[in-house]
Amino acid sequence: MTQPVMPKTWYVPSKPHKFCPGCGHPLILKALGEAVDELGIQNQTIYGCDIGCSLLSWNFFAMDSTQTHHGRTTPVMVGMKRARPELICVGYMGDGGGYSIGSQHLVNSAIRNEKVTLILANNTNYAMTGGQLAPTTLPGQKTETTPFGRDPALTGNPTMGPEMISSITGDGAYVARGTVAKYRQLKGFIKKALQNQMEGNGFSFVEALSTCPTNWRTNAKQTWSWLEDEMGSFYPVGELKSPFRKED
Partner 1 sequence: MEKPVTGTRKVFMTGNETVAWAALAAEADIMFGYPITPQNEIMHYWTRLGAKYDRGFLQTEDEISAGFTVCGAIIAGKKAFTATAGPGNTLMQEPFSMAEAMRLPIVAIIQQRGGPSSGTVIYSQQEVTLTTYGGNGEGHRIVYSTASHQELYDYTIKAFNTAWKYRFPTFVLGDGYQAKMREPLEMYDPEARNLEIIKPSPMVGLPGQIGIDREPQHLCNIYSLEEELYDVVLKVQAEYDGIIPELVEYECRECDDAEILVVSHGVVSRSTDDAVMALRSQGIKVGAFRPITLRPFPSQKLREILRSGVKKMLVVESAYGQLVRLLKQEIYGETVPIETLLMPGVGIIDADIISKVKSLIQ
Using CB under 8 A, list all residues that contact partner 1: 11, 42-44, 46, 48, 51, 55, 58-59, 61-69, 72, 75-84, 86-87, 104-105, 107-108
Cα 161 from Cα 52, distance rounded (Å): 18
Shortest distance in whole angstroms from residue 58 CB to partner 1: 5
Residue number, 78 or 133, with CB nearest to partner 1: 78
Look at residues 117, 4, 121, 101 and name the one whose alpha carbon lies nearest to residue 63: 117
Shortest distance in whole angstroms from residue 31 CB to partner 1: 19
Residue number, 189 or 205, with CB nearest to partner 1: 205
Rg (CA), the chain: 17
- Name beta bridge partners: 146: 143
Residue number, 80 or 146, with CB nearest to partner 1: 80
Shortest distance in whole angstroms from residue 107 CB to partner 1: 8
Cα 176 from Cα 168, distance rounded (Å): 14
Answer whether 163's CB lies under 8 Å from 177's CB: no
Residue number, 81 or 150, with CB nearest to partner 1: 81
Q: What type of residue sits at position 151?
A: D
Shortest distance in whole angstroms from residue 51 CB to partner 1: 7
Look at residues 238, 97, 234 and name the one whose alpha carbon lies nearest to residue 162: 238
Shortest distance in whole angstroms from residue 82 CB to partner 1: 6
Region of residue 231 (left: phi > 0; alpha: psi -120 to 50; beta: else) = alpha
Residue number, 11 or 183, with CB nearest to partner 1: 11
Shortest distance in whole angstroms from residue 42 CB to partner 1: 6
User: What does DSSP assign to residue 14?
Assistant: G
Cite the DSSP H helix spans in 49-160: 73-83, 95-99, 103-111, 152-155
Shortest distance in whole angstroms from residue 87 CB to partner 1: 5
Residue number, 85 or 236, with CB nearest to partner 1: 85
- Name beta bridge partners: 92: 49, 119
Residue number, 43 or 157, with CB nearest to partner 1: 43
Answer whether 209's CB lies under 8 Å from 180's CB: yes
User: What does DSSP assign to residue 140?
Assistant: T
Cα 69 from Cα 71, distance rounded (Å): 6
